[in-house]
Chains A and B, each alone.
Chain A
Amino acid sequence: MATTQLVVTEGQVSPDQRRVVNDLSIQVATVNGSGSQSSNLVLLRAIFQMGVPVSGKNLFPSNIAGLPTWFTIRASKYGYVGRRKEIDFLVAMNPETAEEDVASLEPGAACVYDEKLDLRRLRRDVAFYAVPFDKLVAPICPDPRLRKLVRNMIYVGVLAKLLGIEMEEIERALRRQFKRKVKAVDLNFKAVAAGYEFADQNLEKADRFYIERMNATAGKVLIEGNTAAALGCLFAGVTVVTWYPITPSSSLCETLIEYLKRYRTDPQTGQATFAVIQAEDEMAALGMAIGAGWAGARAMTSTSGPGISLMSEFVGLGYYAEIPAVIFDIQRVGPSTGLPTRTAQGDVLSNAFLSHGDTQHPLLFPSSPEECYTMAMEAFDLAEELQTPVLVMSDLDLGMNTWMSDRFAYPSRPLRRGKVLSAEELERRGGFLRYRDVDGDGIGYRTLPGTNHPAAGYFTRGSGHDERAIYSERPDVYVQNVDRLARKFETARKKVPAPVVEEAEGAEIGIIAYGTTHWAVVECLDQLRQEYHLPASYCRLRAYPFADAVWDFVARHQRLYVVEQNRDGQLCSLLKLDRRLADAAKLRSVRHYNGLPVDARSITDAIVAQEGLN
């Protein structure tokens, strides 16, 4: 049996040999389709079960099998769950990327690798651990077809030994991962144990990273943003789901379909209180949602950039004809097909004004799974109250990655269905005018098709119309109508979720961010304070149109850094367009757009440079 010769000696590994506990990033480099996702999730969950805050990010190709994929697990006693650029512990399983993966490590990092790759020749400042994966897996798994999948469980055992992850927690995590498949649990645990045993007998600890039990995850859950959004839709009482598959949004509708089948089907009759339609394309998907919204259903669709481009026509109709619909945009890197499996916040500016003519749409920016859940419910309420499409701007990082979260709270408010007139109400009022602003908030009353009253009917159209919904090309009628729509958008400003503001004592500068950028900003604020003694206040936007509180925040600070994940500083532009020119001059832009989730260090460096502190 081959044993690992450690070429590293003390002093070569790292200038700093102090133990680093619960503060490291593990990266597993494999080939997609090799079953490594299960191994990675078992590792992630075992660390989580040991009470250590953890996050997982899957960097995968747009491909089913055979291309490089990287999974990063970050354990942080400080609770930081954003991406960290530096990798401390590499598991190199992919021959194609191994050399580059090793080259990117920081001095003092560790690398577990497949013996055949012979990586230790590459560097002298990294702790290498060679593992004979093929030799270890063969006796455990005689079936060659399964071997490829089980093989990856061996590194779980190796890491458990090297880092001190408890085997009981690995076993528990395995059981959760494979649920009731007892055979799969047994087989995979054998592989984990083989890895552990090998490491125990053959590897000498030569790095400084450790996982130790703590108590920072009690009562928390591990969940993906798309699953959380699906739950939000379920508890929002969605009745019509129309969709077209696209990465990274598909799992939202797929999970929602599972929940709906489970929780919204009458066990006696088999009848459903929901309808799901897989449409022929994204145009039809939103067309169906608009049709359903017009008829009074809570309807949603979910998509990503390319689908959003196709939906723009119907979003314009929804805006002008005033029809509720909820659209989830799980943003990925554009333009065009772009990088389908990488993350971005690149649809903000186009979605704010999606479709031709003067249009404006409410956007919600969830930053966590919990907000995917609450904002899904909020989006349905807003869409029906405002009678307009509402876009929930998630992204690939949030939607498809695994996040630690507090448990979700059951909704405390009843559904808000907006201004819909029943036959009885119509009778009492003696009729209605569809687009008259009776209440001064820009929002008219509507009736649903099928309402049994002679005054209920009206003709919905995307062409010019007057208060009675009758076709009109009159200049004064047009102006009156679109000015009312602008007033309605001001109503939206008051109704959308308010920003979350954290003032720092004596801060001259403020940071403005939204969505998943939040997690890097939280860490960046600490870095600025600890490393540069630079206090910064923070305003996390949760919606467009921007609430007045955003501008109050801007007014209180000298310089504002708008941090976001796109090339053009889209939200910064949107702020500048919004209202106050004098304040807009204070805005500075910090942008990250390489397809990887933004990390704190990049933001800190950019702000420090612009502040002239470096």
Chain B
Amino acid sequence: MATTLPPPRKLNRIGLDQAAYKGNKTTLCAGCGHNAISERIIEAFYEMGVEPYRVAKMSGIGCSSKSPAYFLKSSHGFNAVHGRMPSVATGALVANRTLIMIGVSGDGDTASIGIGQFVHLMRRNLPIIYIIEDNGCYGLTKGQFSATADVGSKLKTGVVNELPSIDTCALAIELGATFVARSFSGDKKQLLALLQAAIAHRGTVMLDVISPCVTFNDHDGSTKSYSYVREHEEILEDVSFVPFFEDITVDYDPGTTTDIALHDGSHLLLKKLGVDYDPTSKAEALRVLTESHEKGEVLTGLFYVDTRRPHFIDLLHLVDEPLATLPESRVRPPQSVLDEVMEEHR
């Protein structure tokens, strides 16, 4: 009788196999873009060799916000209230600065009910990977338009959106996020490279991922359908990622590729596709976003990166250890302090 040996398990740099990064079985619709994004997140954390216990998964409310249950099962997760994940994430990270934080939101959760908290999260440049799983509609309440729906996009019911869409990437750049990109749930290579770079970056990563809703927004007339995005996607630059722990030298012709050195020593390589593009210029980023929008294109790629601006935790000048677990001796001042204050009020 022939025996087949199971294939040797592939382990990452900290000795874990990819299964350690999986989550519960998804309860989203078959074919939902969000599931593809969850798969890329699993791959990215696995490839980067991140300890799952160091990760905190945050989300708001909606289909997108369910997805943190579908990756990194052993990490702590927090499904907050609608549109308010940024504040919860901010508090948690301030309490424990050693956490690696990923937040998953949707276009409704971010651009409508959560726009206030989104704006201030971007402004603070909190070190978090903030992903918008963007399908232009409210899936969990059966397909109403969200604020990222394009003018002229049509619902299944025939209703046409007449209000301008909010470009979350343009907004994030304007407000101070330091790593802003757009991708497509169907573009495995680009999304994985951007996610790996996101893990390497320290500061707010705002990653808007067009993620079609197969049930309510994947029909003709929708600008967030698989077919529309495939037909209209314009890729800004070809992205590839070289992690800090791999001793790889990439040869490229001068003038063809921009090399972004990230905080942990990893590199993001942006290979020029036709046009010259400087991802460190806010003005340039806003220009290409506006132009592509006017042309009806779905522009993807890394729009803006700033590796120098201090992030929010730096600005707070905190002790190195998590505030959450400081011992009493370091957080309760001695009797002499009380005496001093009482004397001032005598």
Contacts and interface: CB of A to CB of B under 8 A. Distances in A.
B77 A450 contact: no
Contact of B80 (A289, A451, A462): A462
Interface stretch (A59-67, A126-134, A295-303): A295-303
Contacts of A283: 84, 87, 117
B120 interface: yes
Interface string B19-63: 000001000000000000000000000000001111010000000
Contact of A449 (B80, B96, B335): B96
A290 B324 contact: no
B215 interface: no
A415 B328 contact: yes
B292 to A, nearest CB: 30
Nearest to A280: B120
Given A277-B90, A454-B74, A463-B79, A272 B324 contact: no
B323 A314 contact: no
A471 B88 contact: no
Residue from B52, B95, B333 having most chain A Cβ neighbours under 10 A = B95
A148 to B, nearest CB: 28
Contacts of B116: 280-281, 284
Interface in A280-324: 280-281, 283-299, 313-314, 317
Interface string B84-107: 101111111111101100000000
Interface residues of A, number: 73
A448 interface: yes
Contact of A270 (B75, B93, B317, B324): B317
Given A273-B323, A313-B81, A237 B328 contact: yes
B90 A295 contact: no
Contacts, number: 218
Given A235-B338, A407-B342, A287 B80 contact: yes
B318 interface: yes
A470 to B, nearest CB: 8
Residue from B79, B88, B91 having most chain A Cβ neighbours under 10 A = B91
A452 interface: yes
A223 interface: yes
Contact of B332 (A235, A295, A459): A235
Contacts of A239: 95, 323-324, 326, 331
B324 A275 contact: no
A524 B293 CA distance: 73
A317 B80 contact: yes
A263 interface: yes
A229 to B, nearest CB: 13
Nearest to A270: B317
Contacts of A277: 90-91, 94
A459 B79 contact: yes
A93 to B, nearest CB: 28
A453 interface: yes
A155 B187 CA distance: 78
Nearest to A314: B81
A286 B90 CA distance: 11
A231 B328 contact: no
Contact of A275 (B51, B79, B88, B318): B318
A215 to B, nearest CB: 15
Contacts of A286: 87
Contacts of B76: 447-450, 456-460
B91 A287 contact: yes
B253 to A, nearest CB: 44
B346 interface: yes
B342 A275 contact: no
A284 B94 CA distance: 14
Contacts of B318: 271-273, 275
Contact of B331 (A264, A285, A407): A264
A452 B53 contact: yes
Contact of B78 (A238, A288, A294): A294
Interface in B291-346: 316-320, 322-326, 328, 330-333, 335, 337-338, 341-342, 345-346
Residue from A240, A314, A457 having most chain B Cβ neighbours under 10 A = A457
A458 B72 CA distance: 11
B330 A460 contact: no
B77 A296 contact: no
A221 B51 CA distance: 53
A295 B331 contact: no
A259 B337 CA distance: 10
B156 interface: no
A279 B87 CA distance: 8
Nearest to A369: B345
Interface of A: 221-223, 227, 231, 234-240, 242, 259, 263-264, 266, 269-275, 277, 279-281, 283-299, 313-314, 317, 407-408, 410-411, 414-415, 447-463, 470-471
Interface of B: 24, 51-54, 56, 68-69, 73-81, 84, 86-96, 98-99, 116-117, 119-120, 316-320, 322-326, 328, 330-333, 335, 337-338, 341-342, 345-346
Given A277-B90, A294-B95, A457-B75, 7 more contacts: A293-B91, A295-B95, A295-B324, A296-B325, A449-B75, A450-B322, A460-B78
14 contacts: A222-B345, A227-B345, A231-B338, A273-B319, A275-B95, A283-B84, A284-B90, A288-B90, A293-B95, A295-B56, A295-B95, A407-B342, A457-B74, A462-B80
Q: Which 7 pairs across A and B sit closest by C-beta, in order of nearness?
A: A291-B91, A287-B87, A296-B324, A237-B331, A297-B95, A288-B91, A449-B76
